[in-house]
Amino acid sequence: MEEEQQNQQIVETANTTTRRSSQHEVPETTKLELTVDEVIDRHVGSFGRSQFLHVFLVSLAWIFDSQSALVTIFSDAQPSSWKCNSADKLCNSAAMNGGNEHIRAVCGLKPGSWEWVGGHKSSTIAEWNLVCDRKFLAAIPASLFFLGSLLGSAVFGRLADKSLGRKKTVLVSCILTSATFFFTSLSPNIWIYSILRFTNGFARSGIGIACLVLSTEVVGRKWRGQVGQYGFFLFTVGFISLPLIAYPTRNNWRMLQRILAIFPMFYSIFLFPFVSESPRWLLVRGKNKEAIKILKRFARLNGKDLPTNLTLTDIKTNVGGETGTEESLWTTKWAAKRLITVMIAGFGIGFVYYGVQLNVENLNFSIYFTVAVNAIMEIPAVLIGTILLSFTSRRFLFSMSAFMAGVSCFLCIIFAKGSRRQAKETSKEPRGSWPQLSIEAFGFMAASTAYDILYIYCVELFPTNVRNIAVSFLRQTLMLGASVSPLLVALGRLSPSISFIIFGALSIVSGFLSFWLPETKDAPLFETLQQQGEEEKRRRLLPGDDSALELGTETKNTSPSI
């Protein structure tokens, strides 16, 4: 009897050991080698509360990016009216004839015989009299700001990929943005002001580049589009905040700059320390242990644990060669062609997106009201983009948005002419056209959607080791288009139709260019140019599967890629 009991215990022990070992797909003594995408999808979670908190904290920096780019709408605004401050007959005659609502009337008046309503500190134009023969000087600060953004995009894009990483790039950019805001408020003349606006544009450029990449590199592939849109929603929050801050400070543009300097510094000190570096960037830089540590932190906050025997796939073994940290976008033929196409499309969209916003003064409405309308239209743009990105291709959504923005610009010309014709018949100054404002707002919403989608599209078109550089090149062309737009806005004060024609044409051309780009919806994120080039070539050679030409198409027997 005792012998039978012992035999039964031996059998039960063996069965228990077998069941325990069967619960583990891989023995603990064997390394479990996975890509970052596989770790996120299987063990961390595609988009848990840890990633939500991370994305939210990172995306807050978009507020300062928006405020930097668009503060010029208020600080460089042309005053709406003037008044006589003396008994000068010529001045009083011009004011009685309705000239106090028409800025060109002051060109024939004596200096000192009139003053701006709201005071000479209400804007840079009012303080330094940038009207009449000096009116084109008013476009210089905005143009230099975007040129600074262009140069900064090149510098910060390379720093984020090669040395600083995504997190430190955002931190440096926020601190410099705060400092340049404050120093701008001390400008003694238009030339120093223009130089400081250039430095502010340079400083803020690291925010948009690194924030988008830092957000999208920690979530599953099906969430990349939506997460990218969250950042643009915070950009919209910054846009909406400007009229709310600018109106109480409408008589002092310097105070507006000082208030805006507070927010990025507060963020850098109290909130940004809780942000993590991108595990993908750490892996590319050979810091595997740090990458796993961050992935463990994300998993723990999501209520999960990573396998103790986990190791990340070595990029060298994954692509069959050396790491691609020294690879160049311009020496890789397929990447160079793709980047040039993205950049040309970006120039047109940047020109339209920022140009339409700066052009609000030519709509004959209150600038605070018009900016608020455009800011509010950013909200449906982000929501529509977020919803459509989950099931619509990037290429189709971008092209359709660009086409709608272009058509809306052409329609604005028609309604503007109707408003001027009515004013001519009644012998009054032309007032704002509500149909024109409605169409302009819809066109801006479409341009905003195209602008947002193009960023996300660019992130997915290029691998990790050059992703930030690719996004920086896109941002450079966006800023180049934006830097030209203030000159067109100044020309639009003489002929609004010309500005809308050029805005519409460039938007439509940008939409057509996207037809030469591959689709990336639900595509894997690759780590190196060599890896991505080999995988795309292999998919193109798959027999009898035309859909394999698209990056986002899932095919059988594909090798795991990050």
Q: How do residues 266-285 score in pLDDT, each as one tens digit? A: 999 999 999 999 999 998 88
Task: Supply the pLDDT for residue 203.
Answer: 96
By CB atoms closer than 10 A (0-12, 13-18, 19+), residue 449 is buried
Name the percent of the chain lying above pLDDT 90: 34
Query: What's the mean pLDDT when you consider all of the chain?
Result: 81
DSSP string, 312-369: EPPHHHHHTSS--TT--TTTSHHHHHHHHHHHHHHHHHHHHHHHHHHGGGGGSS-HHH
224 — pLDDT class (breaks 50, 70, 90): confident
Nearest-angstrom CA–CA distance, 547 and 397: 19
510 — pLDDT class (breaks 50, 70, 90): very high
Task: Supply the pLDDT for residue 430.
Answer: 46
More reliable by pLDDT, 258 or 85 = 258
Task: Supply the pLDDT for residue 482.
Answer: 81
171 — pLDDT class (breaks 50, 70, 90): very high
Task: Supply the pLDDT for residue 562.
Answer: 32
The residues facing 310 across adjacent strands are 32
**What is the three-class DSSP state of 114?**
strand
Residue 167: pLDDT over 60: yes
More reliable by pLDDT, 327 or 525 = 525
Q: Residue 421: how many CA atoms within 13 Å on its side-chain side?
A: 6
Mean pLDDT to the nearest integer, 38-59? 92
**Of the ranges 74-88, 119-133, 344-358, which one carries the lowest mean pLDDT score?**
74-88
- Specify the residue for token string 């070595």: 314
The bridge status of strand 310-312 relative to strand 32-34 is: parallel
**Closest by Cα among 454, 472, 470, 461 to 533:** 461
- Which tens digits make up the pLDDT trace of 421-444? 444 444 444 455 778 788 888 988
Residue 29: pLDDT over 90: no
Q: How large is the C-alpha radius of gyration of the chain?
A: 28
414 — pLDDT class (breaks 50, 70, 90): confident
**CA angle 345-466-403, nearest 5°?**
15
The dihedral over CA atoms of 295, 298, 300, 306, expressed in degrees to the nearest 10, equals: -30
Residue 317: pLDDT over 80: no
Nearest-angstrom CA–CA distance, 78 and 134: 12
